[in-house]
Amino acid sequence: MKKWSQYLAIPAILAILAGCQDQGTTDTESGAEQTEQVDEADQQADNQVDEQATNEDATEDETADAGANDIDLSKVEDGTYEGIGHGRNGEVAVTVEVSNNEITDITVDHEETPEFVDEGLDDYLEAIKAKSSTNVDQISGATMTSGAIKEALFNALGQEYTSADADSGASEDGDDGGWASTTSDYDVSPEEALEREDLSASGEAAKGSTIADVDKSDDEWVEKTAEATNAVEGDTYVKLDRGVLTVDQIDHFLKAMPIELTYADDNNQFLYYNNHIEDPTDMLGTRLPEQAGDPLEKVHPEGTYANVAWVINQLREKHTDSVRMAVPSGGPGQFVVHDYYGIYDDDGNYMGINELIHDIFPHVEFFLKETGYKLVDEDGNEIDFKNLDKETDADSSASE
């Protein structure tokens, strides 16, 4: 297992800095030599980040929602079509009208949380209509709903939807889709992993975190579980491996982390996230207070279950020590990375999964400032780091 200091964005920084060169490079150095240096650095970073996820097949139209295939209207006859996708709160129904191989109208019926969806929904649908394409910017703060609308649209038009989940990073057909793990040689497919993993969390956690008397899907799971277990709180002291803290200190210590943390146990129950941002839509990976306690299948769209199971099974079976993917869910000046680590007890028994979500751009910016290095493209041209567009990372994009 990696130490804390090893996963604070350093490997990902190496990947982004693969094209870095010193500002002191002389004017006589040729563009070919610059390109050679970039290639050598890229090769060194291959073991850390999947190059395919960031460099292949990028097009001008790919955006933050371009982790999946696009609809093909070339053979769709004029008419009105209906389809179903799977959102956070249930089914999302889409009605779409097609005329002359273009989308002329699209309506959505959903039960998603209004405050996270309604504000950006109309713009999202208008963008799809304007481009007759699903490769448009997703609804800010509602990536799962955006993915459900896309899924429903594909289903309506009788086409195969290949999802790329922001919490799993791989497409339904098993393509990499942004995965990068450090030591894995495991050849199990996402579909095989799904047969091994119970995302409904119907079993019991080995360490007793499963509370049988409380419904896992209860929005007040935290409060009811605390009452059922007489959970300590406040200024009660807790002895840890190398320290003694009060519950309040532990809580605020975790909230003060400059990264977003999520803990799901070995029974695939979503137990905790460090709720340090008042508005969930401002999070890099949206989490809602009422999700604590949910089975993992409830916090992911159905189309991504196999990929979620793949991550878990990789770590449960110790076929890798980490799984990483990039999700350009922010705008220019952000590069969001999801890291997944297995949690094990002193005897090496699997206890669950730790997900870390962090924006590595500030670290890269600090590195460039302190060292005098700069980012260059394959031709040796300097890249405007602060205004990098999300399209730069289109192949590593993923939507819920």
**Mean pLDDT taken over the chain:** 75
Please check whether residue 105 is in contact with residue 97, taking contact to mean a CB–CB distance below 8 angstroms.
yes
More confident call, 213 vs 342 = 342
243 has which bridge partners?
240
Q: Token digits for 261?
A: 């943390």
Distance CA 48, CA 12 (A): 7
Residue 211 to residue 215: CA distance in whole angstroms: 8
Residue 335 pLDDT grade (very low, low, confident, very high; cuts 50, 70, 90): confident
Helices (H), 108-265: 114-131, 143-156, 190-196, 221-229, 247-255
Strand extents, DSSP E, the chain: 20-22, 79-86, 91-99, 102-109, 180-181, 237-240, 243-246, 260-265, 270-273, 323-326, 336-344, 350-359, 373-375
Residue 94, judged by CB atoms within 10 A of its CB (0-12, 13-18, 19+), counts as buried
The single-letter DSSP state of residue 30 is -
pLDDT digits (tens, 9 = 90+) for 176-203: 334 444 444 556 788 888 888 999 998 8
Calpha distance 25→36 (Å, rounded): 14
What are the pLDDT digits (tens) for 109-124? 988 777 778 888 999 9
DSSP helix/strand/coil, 17: helix
pLDDT above 50: residue 20: no
Least confident interval from 133-147, 159-173, 190-204, 323-337:
159-173
Please tell me the predicted confidence (pLDDT) of residue 162: 64
DSSP conformational letter for 71: P
The model's pTM: 0.56
User: Could you give the percent of the chain with pLDDT greater than 90?
Assistant: 38
Residue 99 pLDDT exceeds 80:
yes
Residue 205 has pLDDT above 70, yes or no: yes
- Which of 116, 164, 109 is closest to 140 using CA atoms? 116
Q: pLDDT higher for 289 or 334? A: 289
Asked whether residue 25 carries a pLDDT value surpassing 60, the answer given is no
pLDDT of the residue at 328:
59
Per-residue pLDDT at 126 exceeds 50: yes
pLDDT (average), residues 316-334: 78
C-alpha 34/C-alpha 27 separation (Å) is 11
The span from the CA of 118 to the CA of 259, in Å, is: 28
DSSP 382: B
Judged against a pLDDT cut of 50, whether residue 214 lies above it is answered with yes
Residue 45 CA to residue 337 CA, distance in Å, equals: 16
Confidence band, pLDDT 50/70/90 cuts, at residue 218: very high
Q: Which residue has the higher pLDDT, 385 or 224?
A: 224
SS3 for 114? Answer: helix
Gap between the Cα atoms of 226 and 192, Å rounded: 36
Quote the tokens at residue 54. 């960031």
CA angle (229 as vertex; 228, 235 as ends), nearest 5: 120
pLDDT value of position 19: 38
What is the rounded average pLDDT of the residues 67-88? 84
User: How large is the average pLDDT for residues 294-301?
Assistant: 91
pLDDT at 30 over 90: no
The helix/strand/coil state of 164 is: strand
Question: Is pLDDT at 170 greater than 80 in this prediction?
Answer: no
Residues in the chain: 400
Cα(71)–Cα(300) distance, integer angstroms: 22
Average pLDDT of 275-303? 88
| Higher local confidence (pLDDT), 249 or 379 | 249
How many Cβ atoms from other residues are within 10 Å of residue 199's Cβ? 21
Residue 355 has pLDDT above 70, yes or no: yes
What's CA 283's distance to the chain center, in Å? 12
Maximum CA pair distance of the chain? 73
Q: Which of 70-79, 111-120, 219-228 has the lowest mean pLDDT?
A: 111-120
Q: What is the pLDDT, as a whole number, of residue 117?
A: 82
Alpha-carbon span 11 to 50, nearest angstrom: 12
Task: Report the helix count and the strand count for the chain, using DSSP H and E.
Answer: 10, 13
Residue 320 pLDDT class (50, 70, 90 cuts): confident
